[in-house]
Amino acid sequence: MYDLELERVVSEIKKREADKVLLQLPDGMRPFAYQLVDAIEKSTEATVFLSGDSCYGACDIALTQAKQLDVDLIVHYGHTPMVKHPEMPVIYVHASIDVNVDKMVEEVLPSLSEYKVIGLTTTVQHTHQVDEMKRKLEEKRVNVQVGKGTGKTPLDGQILGCSYMTAINIMDKVDVYLYIGGGRFHPTGIVMSTGKPVIVANPYNGQISKISEDDLMDVAKRRVAAVTVARNAKKFGILVSSKPGQNNFEKAVELQKGLKEQGKEAVIIYMDEIKADHVNNYSEPEILVNTACPRIAIDGIDGIDRPMLTINETEVVLGTRTWESLWGNSYME
Ligand code: SF4
């Protein structure tokens, strides 16, 4: 169960004397929305609106909606701050979830036995227990390293789909990473960014699994194929998202210039969310360059009918980066 931090949220709304509040919740938390609105409105004078658009990360702060609704405050659940100076006060609530650390440690220990040093990583929902996890693993004689919080991941051990600096910063010291969390999205990024294997301890279903570099061969083949096709392509569409933490307009202009200097045709296509229906109607570009969330290009969007590159992969096409400097080494940064 998420820690909704209702007391803190109510206290902040009162302290700031906010009359109107915009509540942003990731999809997984939306079943709690009415409960939250009701609790906030009963405890404060504020009127609460729900943002109905995407809330994929802290990159996705609903500033435009907030301005249109003329709210005094955004309450954003599920992420840590990413946008440096949002033009609107924002309260971030981590939406922490407690893990049974003793049980998790017992279950994962056999999978760690062949490694000397492990790097502990997790998402914001579990970072409040990183110290406890480290301590309990050390009690079992496991040598644990935790990367210091930095940049887009301010909490120790925290990783994001687009930033693995806490893992990268300790990669020379560890043999394997232990990722606490659900799904393959984040641990796949760890392997792409460090080249090291990852043991996944899923606290939601109790399953322990492993992602190794072999598992990533499919991803690597797809990425290399996209770069290879792009080298010979003539027409490029450079996608720019207006989402505050995904907007890379200046980089898009730089890539456009580089592509044009190589005799390619490149046009910037500006939008909020990158959706297949909208993009596919631009049928002329053979290659799409995605300057928004890098995972859109790597993991793909259903229905996109052409190869799509990340910024870094486009720089490989331009010759300003090498593929070797990316794969297993800062792929997303
Ligand atoms: S840019 Fe992508 S991976 Fe990064 S926080 Fe936003 S949605 Fe998540």
**Any ligand 1 atom below 6 A from CB of 167:** no
Phi, psi of 26 (to 5 degrees): -65, 160
Taking the C-alpha atoms of residue 305 and residue 331, their distance in angstroms, rounded to an integer, is: 23
Tokens coding 12: 């902040």
Looking at the 3D structure of the chain, how many domains does it have? 3
DSSP line for 60-82 = G--HHHHHHHT-SEEEEES----
From 185, 190, 239, 295, mutation site for ligand 1 pocket: most ligand atoms within 8 A of C-beta: 295
Check if the beta carbon of residue 130 is closer than 8 Å to that of residue 157: yes
**Any ligand 1 atom below 6 A from CB of 57:** yes
Domain identity same for 124 and 53: no
Residues 200-257 pLDDT 10s: 999 999 999 998 767 788 889 999 999 999 999 999 999 999 999 999 999 999 999 9
Residue nearest to atom 4 of ligand 1 (CA): 162
**Domain containing residue 270:** 217-325
Mean pLDDT of the chain: 96
Residue nearest to atom 8 of ligand 1 (CA): 57
127 found inside a domain: yes
Domain identity same for 221 and 319: yes
**Any ligand 1 atom below 6 A from CB of 59:** yes
Domain identity same for 60 and 107: no
Domain CATH code at residue 41: 3.40.50.11840
142 found inside a domain: yes
252 found inside a domain: yes
Residues 35-82 pLDDT 10s: 999 999 999 999 999 999 999 999 999 999 999 999 999 999 999 999
- Reported pTM: 0.94
Domain identity same for 284 and 202: no
Query: Which of 171, 186, 211 finishes a domain?
Result: 211
Confidence (pLDDT) at 34: 98
165 found inside a domain: yes
Give me the residue label for tokens 């040093």. 117
